[in-house]
Amino acid sequence: MGYTIAQKIIKNHLVCGEMQVGEEIGLKIDQTLTQDATGTMAYLQFEAMGIERVKTELSVAYIDHNTLQAGFENADDHRYIQTVTKKHGIRFSRPGNGICHQVHLERFAVPGKTLIGSDSHTPTAGGIGMLAMGAGGLDVAVAMGGGTYYITMPRMIKITLNGHLPPMVGAKDVILAVLKMLSVKGGVGAIVEYAGEGVKTLSVPQRATITNMGAELGATTSIFPSDEVTKAFLKAENREGDWIELFSDADAKYDEEYELDLSTLVPLAACPHSPDNVKPIAELAGKKISQVCIGSCTNSSMLDMLTVAAMLKGKTVHPDVSLSISPGSKQVYTMLAQSGALADMIAAGARILECACGPCIGMGFSPKSAGVSLRTFNRNFLARSGTADAEVYLVSPETAAASALTGVFTDPTTLDGVSVELPEAFLVNDNLVEMPATVEEAGQVCVERGPNIKPIPVGKAPEKDLRCSLILKVGDNITTDHIMPAGSKILPYRSNVPKLSEYCFTVCDPTFPERAKAQGGGVVLGGSNYGQGSSREHAALVPLYLGVKAVVAKSFARIHVANLINFGIVPMTLQNPDDYELFAQGDEIQIEGFADAVAGKTEATLVNLTTGAKAVLCLAFSPRQREILLAGGTLNYTKKSK
Ligand code: MIC
Ligand code: SF4
């Protein structure tokens, strides 16, 4: 039997386990990336492991998230990352060089190789045919040290693309159509592969827009073949030597198959507050808007930017609209400036931001009260923009630019089309990527730590019998932005867990941090797809600090469940999802023989001591995961096994 693209890469990197769907497998990781909001923690953990030099083929640390320096904290963390990476053999992409995923795609991603990144949108590199996955910082630290990366062998989904996109319909509309079809849970436990004639019509950055938002499907990753288009992109980046051809075998077997005719697609928007709440722009046309933000790792390539510039050229942004544009990388930004396209944007009234995540992670540019914001980003979770009552819609750059000019939702296909040509060669200059010290020089590098860096909480072994309060009950699709919000005020504390804990779950319940502290923690009950969204391990670390011992849910998102285990919080699912109704926030609960269940049982009984109700919990762990949980998390486990 033949292999899919992802199966081929997995096979080539398999360290342990069987390639059977649902089985735990271990992979060798060729490359890693970190960004600054998760990187500080990842490098602190790397240091705690006591490994002198990274063992990967390539590891890069990017500075792109915490770029608003309203106090010393972010600048201190950047300096820490710059010095710690220099010492341990990691390249450092300086602030100003761009968003990790955009830069990695341009300069480092290689078809056929494996990449993990401490950021959930790492699958962006799937656009070039790389097996790229988001992971918690601790897993990235382990991989940097040459350790194996463990995942559950995913099922394979094939999406065949036919035809070609109509004018003014973008790659963003493709992935929004897929999200509408499959939902934010549709990719859980799966890898999404794209195939068909339509693939040839999409450039690598367009493919990367699609694989980027595969994260919103909950997928382990998404991947495109590596073909002549990939080769041309690598050539334009002066990296033709990195190209290999990579297709699925003709007799490869997929678990699910879908078809999408690109020529039938129309401009779409993901409506508040979920990326799968998708409607045609035509249905929203005429609705007033107050803000437009163009950029993020989803839509900040040269193609996106040139399209926007061409649409804005000679026009003026509507007076009721504030338009921000953040190009994705220094390469894009410089080329925009050289081509004159940047001048067209500025002249039209766009507020040009630095090439970084910016408004996407709430680093400034929060909308006005009850504002309507159109963003070319990938997430519109409640309050992520920094304005709790804002309505955020996710759209293509074409829709964003058209609407910025009119002040209302505007279907770009109703306007005159623009056609832009990508240059044959990109401007290659890696002067903002600092090389690490040599092995000989590394000893002299002094790692600088600011006062914002506080000790990492460490988990404990599970109690023999668990008896505590159900400290919080939340609904379906709880994101890590609910658990541990980001934004300009909170992000500077990513290396200061005690301070961060003041914001934990406050989007759902402002009293949570205080209650958790007063009661010494407890258990959290969630609905389905608990922990979807970002890879931030702070969504496990901070609840750990507040005393959360276990999370019971109908189902979990992949990266979050791995993070919970890494920090010794026991994730368990309800065997019967309807039992969710048997428990209320504040109920006293008990699991007799909790530690024994974690050690070797697949089921445990959760008793509601307040009402007498009972529910069966499933503990679906691999032997390795059980050992980690029994040790109170990966750091303890690693120390023990040394
Ligand atoms: C995000 O888009 O939510 C982030 C910020 O990039 C996160 C990482 C983080 O929280 O630092 C992600 O996607 O993993
Ligand atoms: Fe940055 Fe936004 Fe991309 Fe996350 S989704 S990496 S915050 S641009």
pLDDT for 640 = 77
Of the chain, the percentage scoring pLDDT greater than 90 comes to: 98
Cα dist. 229→136, 202, 305, 397, 627 in Å? 32, 8, 20, 22, 45
User: 539 falls in which pLDDT band (50, 70, 90)?
Assistant: very high
pLDDT for 642 = 62
Ligand 2 pocket test target in 101, 213, 325 with most atoms within 8 Å of CB: 101
pLDDT for 372 = 98
CB-ligand 2 contact for 296 (6 Å cutoff): yes
Q: Is residue 504 within 8 Å of 483, Cβ to Cβ? A: yes
CB-ligand 1 contact for 38 (6 Å cutoff): yes
Q: Residue written as tokens 């990939």?
A: 230
pLDDT for 228 = 98
pLDDT per position as a tens digit, 47-95: 999 999 999 999 999 999 999 999 999 999 999 999 999 999 999 999 9
User: 321 falls in which pLDDT band (50, 70, 90)?
Assistant: very high
Distance 119 CA to ligand 1 centre (A): 5
Q: What number is the average pLDDT over the span 386-394?
A: 97
Q: How far apart are CA 546 and CA 564, in angstroms?
A: 14
Q: List 116's β-bridge partners, or say none.
A: 32, 133
Residue closest via CA to ligand 2's atom 1 equals 357
Residue closest via CA to ligand 1's atom 4 equals 534
pLDDT per position as a tens digit, 409-450: 999 999 999 989 889 999 999 999 999 999 999 999 999 999
Q: Is the omega angle on the peptide bond into residue 121 within 30 degrees of 0, that is, cis?
A: no
CB-ligand 2 contact for 357 (6 Å cutoff): yes
- Helices assigned H by DSSP within 160-227: 171-182, 204-212
Query: What backbone phi and psi angles, to 5 degrees, belong to 636?
Result: -65, -40
Cβ neighbours of residue 4 closer than 8 Å, sequence gap 6 or more: 156, 158, 191, 193, 248, 249, 252, 253, 254
pLDDT for 419 = 87
Residue closest via CA to ligand 1's atom 13 equals 534
Instruction: Give the ligand at the shortest distance from the Cα of 491.
Output: 1
Coil, strand, or helix at residue 392?
strand
Q: Is residue 86 within 8 Å of 434, Cβ to Cβ? A: yes
Nearest ligand 2 atom to the CA of 100 is: 6
User: 354 falls in which pLDDT band (50, 70, 90)?
Assistant: very high
Ligand 2 pocket test target in 62, 119, 332 with most atoms within 8 Å of CB: 119
Residue closest via CA to ligand 1's atom 5 equals 361
pLDDT per position as a tens digit, 201-237: 999 999 999 999 999 999 999 999 999 999 999 999 9
CB-ligand 1 contact for 121 (6 Å cutoff): yes
Residue closest via CA to ligand 2's atom 2 equals 360
Q: How far apart are CA 575 and CA 539, in angstroms?
A: 24
Q: Which of 163, 157, 169, 31 is nearest to 100 (CA)?
A: 31
Nearest ligand 2 atom to the CA of 119 is: 6
Q: How far apart are CA 518 and CA 468, in angstroms?
A: 13
CB-ligand 1 contact for 486 (6 Å cutoff): yes
Nearest ligand 1 atom to the CA of 486 is: 10
Q: Is the omega angle on the peptide bond into residue 101 within 30 degrees of 0, that is, cis?
A: no
Cα dist. 263→166, 167, 276, 412, 489 in Å? 6, 9, 21, 15, 44
CB-ligand 1 contact for 120 (6 Å cutoff): yes
Distance 374 CA to ligand 1 centre (A): 20
Q: How far apart are CA 98 and CA 76, in angstroms?
A: 19
Q: What number is the average pLDDT over the span 326-343?
A: 98
Instruction: Give the ligand at the shortest distance from the Cα of 119.
Output: 1
CB-ligand 1 contact for 495 (6 Å cutoff): no
Distance 67 CA to ligand 2 centre (A): 12
Mean pLDDT of the chain: 97
Q: 641 pLDDT exceeds 80?
A: no
Q: What number is the average pLDDT over the span 580-594?
A: 98
